[in-house]
Amino acid sequence: MANVQRNAVSAWLDRWYAEQTGTLLGHHGHPLELALQAATAAYRSGRGTRADVLAMELEIQKLQDRLDENRAAVAASAVALERWIGPAAPRPLSEPPRLAVPLPVERLARGELDTVPEVAAAQREISRSS
């Protein structure tokens, strides 16, 4: 039973991650389109090169490729989730649960580096050698 739960949770997290990645990638399209317009305008006015325009077109195509890969990842993760939870898999996901973060990692995230014993020891070693 624990193995089934672990696999279901893993499949849920994979789908959630793929969907979040897709959302983030979707936000990159508009700035790239604007950059392409700027490069095209600069080229037409003689201030830019054709290489600048081609570089922006390439970046847009690379983003489209990543979006296509992401759509495939979302579909694959949905199938994997359906394997574990059945027909409820296509329903929208809820927010992920708050995961317990070990205290030392939380201190690092807050910038409390001096409280980590290894960092404090390294700082003492540096001050002795100076």
Q: What is the pTM of this model?
A: 0.68
Instruction: Please check whether residues 128 and 81 belong to one and the same domain.
Output: no
Q: Averaged over 100-124, what is the pLDDT?
A: 74
Question: How many domains is the chain built from?
Answer: 2
Instruction: Please check whether residues 106 and 82 belong to one and the same domain.
Output: no
Distance CA 67, CA 23 (A): 10
- Domain limits for position 120: 100-130
* pLDDT score at 108: 67
* Distance from the first to the final alpha carbon of the chain: 58
32-70 pLDDT, tens digit each? 999 999 999 999 999 999 999 999 999 999 999 999 999
Instruction: Please check whether residues 15 and 69 belong to one and the same domain.
Output: yes
pLDDT band of residue 20 (cuts 50, 70, 90) is very high
Instruction: Please check whether residues 36 and 78 belong to one and the same domain.
Output: yes
**Shortest CA distance to 52 belongs to which of 65, 69, 61, 39?**
39
Instruction: Please check whether residues 109 and 78 belong to one and the same domain.
Output: no
Instruction: Please check whether residues 76 and 107 belong to one and the same domain.
Output: no
More confident residue, 112 or 88: 88
Instruction: Please check whether residues 76 and 104 belong to one and the same domain.
Output: no
Torsion of CA 83, 88, 91, 92, to 10 degrees: -70
Instruction: Please check whether residues 6 and 64 belong to one and the same domain.
Output: yes
More confident residue, 10 or 95: 10
Instruction: Please check whether residues 18 and 39 belong to one and the same domain.
Output: yes
Instruction: Please check whether residues 42 and 80 belong to one and the same domain.
Output: yes
* pLDDT score at 130: 72
Instruction: Please check whether residues 74 and 110 belong to one and the same domain.
Output: no
Instruction: Please check whether residues 68 and 25 belong to one and the same domain.
Output: yes
